[in-house]
């Protein structure tokens, strides 16, 4: 895009933070809920706080295989002169004991567990401690224990009324285990945002391109990103560059929470999306202070926000990551999870225009594991990064115009799932 083309974008370039705020405002809070089994709740967001309705453990739990005893009865136990106990299967009285497994209930009357390593059978009786299924066997305990030894009290892990998770919490795999332990089997969650992803362009085909045709990838990548960010994607067929076709495609998905289009957002003769959106609704943003991704825009039709992404693959991916991703998180009342980063040393200078955020695709080289800090090399080709072989990207902020050789910078690993 030439400078004159940029000048013709309505309203001038919008800073990324402002673009995110506009899209968030149009998307609004999503407060639809559904109740799902906890096995299906990974990545979903809680509309309400979850409070435990049971103690965990609900009983005094043994932490070791061994024998439950009254600690006071073991005071005189020693290796040379062990204390003798008789086994029982009921409540523990003075001089009595009962075999317990790790995780089993500690019998009434007992306040400690002696590890199996400190117990021996009585040879004259021929009893085996680990097979104490009957009362009346006798064992020797060779070491004293203190009250509470190897006994987990009731509610030590979780007490009734304790808050497990606050509203807005996005459930992680480990959280599902905690919910199951707390007795939760089904849980209300916010509906995932529904995002219709519509690739546009008369030159796009799904396979086997002829000269002048291009295989569609933006919609595929965009819909995959939506799923990666815990949304529900509708990956639509390619729509040609005709006003009637574009209008019909948008109207078909006005029931979605968000429509994302790819291609047709610039100022060329075939870039019809802004005018189609303006005819049916309103264009709120036309052009971002971003490279790549300058030609992106935001609009709204019948209350449904539309993010108009560029047709260049890397530009489409960048705008989706920097604008769409945080807006989807805010819509369900949670904070966006930034992609993981790795610190790397720049091998070449990275430049940016003042007041514009610039994203540079890079590859990483750690010398086969021989260096502590990997080297970041630009992956640009023809002035724009290529999607092929990118390990991540480096951002040059609006307040800066360059990053210098040898500088340590965070490389965002955009390809890693972080829902």
What local confidence, expressed as pLDDT, does residue 369 receive? 62
pLDDT on residue 251: 97
Dihedral over Cα of 394, 399, 401, 405: its sign: negative
pLDDT per 10-residue tile (average), the chain, 419 residues:
41 89 95 94 92 90 96 88 90 95 96 93 54 66 94 93 91 91 90 96 90 91 91 95 95 98 81 92 96 95 97 92 95 87 92 92 79 80 59 91 92 72
Other C-beta atoms lying within 10 Å of the C-beta of residue 208: 7
Closest CA to 198 of 259, 136, 137: 259
Q: Are 116 and 140 in contact (CB under 8 A)?
A: no
Reported in sequence order, the residue ranges of 130-277 that DSSP labels E, i.e. its strands, are 138-141, 151-152, 163-165, 186-190, 194-199, 204-205, 214-215, 232-235, 258-262
CB atoms within 10 A of CB 109: 16
**Residue that is written with structure tokens 């955020």 in the block:** 357
């Amino acid at each position: 895009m030439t400078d004159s083309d940029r000048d013709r974008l309505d309203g001038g370039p919008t800073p990324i933070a402002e673009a995110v705020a506009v899209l968030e405002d149009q998307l609004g809070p999503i407060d639809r809920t559904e109740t799902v089994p906890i096995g299906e709740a990974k990545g979903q967001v809680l509309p309400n706080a979850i409070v435990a309705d049971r103690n965990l453990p609900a009983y005094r739990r043994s932490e070791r295989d061994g024998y439950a005893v009254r600690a006071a009865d073991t005071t005189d136990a020693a290796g040379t002169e062990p204390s003798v106990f008789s086994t029982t299967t009921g409540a523990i009285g003075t001089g009595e004991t009962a075999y317990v497994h790790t995780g089993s209930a500690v019998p009434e009357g007992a306040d400690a567990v002696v590890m199996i390593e400190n117990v021996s059978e009585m040879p004259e009786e021929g009893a085996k401690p680990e097979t104490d299924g009957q009362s009346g066997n006798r064992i020797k305990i060779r070491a004293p224990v203190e009250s509470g030894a190897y006994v987990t009290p009731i509610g030590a892990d979780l007490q009734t009324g304790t808050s497990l998770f606050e509203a807005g919490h996005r459930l992680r795999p480990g959280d599902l285990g905690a919910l199951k332990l707390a007795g939760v089997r089904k849980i209300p969650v916010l509906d995932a945002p529904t995002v219709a992803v519509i690739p546009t362009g008369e030159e796009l085909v799904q396979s086997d391109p002829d000269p002048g045709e291009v295989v569609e990838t933006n919609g595929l990548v965009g819909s995959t990103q939506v799923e990666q960010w815990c949304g529900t994607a509708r990956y639509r067929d390619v729509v040609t560059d005709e006003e009637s076709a574009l209008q019909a495609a948008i109207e078909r998905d006005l029931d979605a929470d968000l429509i994302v289009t790819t291609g047709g957002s610039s100022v060329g003769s075939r870039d019809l999306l802004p005018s189609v959106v303006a005819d049916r609704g309103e264009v709120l943003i036309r052009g971002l202070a971003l490279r790549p991704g300058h030609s992106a825009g935001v609009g709204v039709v019948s209350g449904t926000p539309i993010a108009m992404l560029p047709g260049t693959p890397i530009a489409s991916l960048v705008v989706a990551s920097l604008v769409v991703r945080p807006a989807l998180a805010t819509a369900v009342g949670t904070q966006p999870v930034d992609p993981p980063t790795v610190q790397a040393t720049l091998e070449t200078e990275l430049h940016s225009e003042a007041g514009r955020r610039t994203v540079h695709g890079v590859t990483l080289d750690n010398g086969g594991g021989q260096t502590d800090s990997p080297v970041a090399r630009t992956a640009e080709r023809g002035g724009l990064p290529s999607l092929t072989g990118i390990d991540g990207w480096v951002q040059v902020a609006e307040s800066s115009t360059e990053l210098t050789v040898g500088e340590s910078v965070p490389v965002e690993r955009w390809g890693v799932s972080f829902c």
